[in-house]
Amino acid sequence: MNNLKLIVLDNIKELGEKVNIKLKNKKKENTDYIVNITASRFSNGEGKVKIEDSIREKDIYLLADVGNYGITYNMHGFTHHMAPDEHFQDIKRTISAISGYSEKVTVIMPLLYQSRQHKRKGRESADCAIALQELERLGVDHIVTFDAHDPTISNAIPNLPFENFYPTNTILEDLLQTENLKDILVISPDMGATERARYFAEMLDTNVGVFYKRRDLTKVVNGKNPIIEHTYMGPSVEGKDILIVDDMIASGTSMLEVGERLKKDGANKVYFIATFSLFTEGIEEFNNAYKNHYFDKLYTTNLSYIPEEYREKEWFHTVDCSENIADIINALHEKESLKPLFNGKEKILDLRKEKRL
């Protein structure tokens, strides 16, 4: 008997339901894998989680999106939007509610909690490492994430399996099928995203460029040193279709400035590609940049929350990664190798030949 079960927190419900359907199709079963749970809040903001179905000896896959700021609750008479800290606390509550009855618990957290606080400088907190160690102590057997800001954070839990997948191939497949790309150049918006840009370039058999962000180290604005200047290093962008790739868009200011610079330097089309689009300061700047023809489209995934009204924008394109997650869950449950899921190069090469790129 199939003992696979999904626990889908409210913060990832839409994606979780898609994963459930994909698993049904893969296993050719009409079983609903999702476990019923109740997550409730007291009026002072404290919460609790109750598992409504039996999970005894089940292989549990817990899906959660710690970046979902669209989840609200009433606290002391006002509407409160949940923050990543609270979502992570609900993950821990859910594991606690399982109470050790399951056969195995795998946490699938596409946007890794506190991933940008992955290392310490001076007297800083080591948030991501502490969080992963908390999950280990609670009895989690496996952790799955996507496009971790720094994959070496797995060193914080050397005895716990940690899988870091990239949706690169899924994004490229969608991009090549949707757009009529010609003379392509891949560009990294900063030095930190160079390896990612290089991988895209290798998949597309093209060249790569990079921007260097010169920052004012004497000031701190919104937790970061402000950018003084973007310096481009790479081949000419004139007449090229540009792919600007990064792991996440926070406010998006930096990427928009790069897009504007490239258009003014003669680029043909400019596409933004990011695994996670957080839009921490809204999308008005993106709307204005699109109207000014500073970029042509943004390709991003549904691995983290994006409001419906954003997804309806002409410049916005969502890449569905539910199949990726379903494949991962199925392989782990069937104890199959994960190696094929890390390599989708052959499909991209076929698409390139088809498009004559």
- For the stretch 251-296, pLDDT in tens is 998 899 999 999 999 999 999 999 999 999 999 999 999 999 999 9
| Integer Cα distance of 223 and 39 in angstroms | 32
DSSP code per residue over 259-324 = HHHHHHTT-SEEEEEEEEE--TT-SHHHHHHHHTTS-SEEEEESSS---HHHHTSTTEEEEP-HHH
Question: What's the whole-number mean pLDDT along residues 347-352?
Answer: 63
Question: How does DSSP classify residue 156?
Answer: G
**What token pair was written down for 140?**
């989690």
pLDDT at 320: 97
Distance CA(316)–CA(297), nearest Å, equals 6
- The predicted model scores a pTM of 0.90
Domains of the chain: 4-164 (3.40.50.2020), 168-320 (3.40.50.2020)
Which tens digits make up the pLDDT trace of 105-119? 999 999 999 998 888
What angle do helix axes 168-178 and 345-355 make, rounded to 10 degrees?
10
